[in-house]
Amino acid sequence: MTPEIVVEVFSQALYVIILLVAAVITPGLIVGLMVAVFQAATSINEQTLSFLPRLLVTLFTLIVLANWIFSTLISFATELYLSIPELIG
């Protein structure tokens, strides 16, 4: 196994990780920004106010995207396992 193959497999794994994390984190970031704008407009300086909406949106996003997340992980793992003979040889 050459270093180029290791780097390629590693970059594919990082791409999958970044894709899945971005899909889960982005809605929470948007809700956090909306709550921050609301807090700035109303002069409410409560730090815990933005925690619950972000938590709920993140949990809801995980529930909605669970099928896609697992299918993406399974397809990556399947491709990786099927390419083992090519990687070794």
Digit-coded pLDDT (tens) for 16-48: 999 999 999 999 999 999 998 998 899 888 878
Q: One-letter amino acid identity for 45?
A: N
Distance from the first to the final alpha carbon of the chain: 7
The one-letter code for the residue type at 26 is T
Res 86: pLDDT? 85
What does the pLDDT read at residue 34?
Answer: 94
Question: How many structural domains are present in the chain?
Answer: 1
Q: Which domain holds residue 21?
A: 3-88
pLDDT at 80: 93
User: What integer best gives the mean pLDDT of the chain?
Assistant: 92
- H helices of 1-89, in order, are 3-42, 51-82, 84-88
Q: What is the spatial distance between Cα 40 and Cα 55, in angstroms, rounded to a whole number?
A: 20
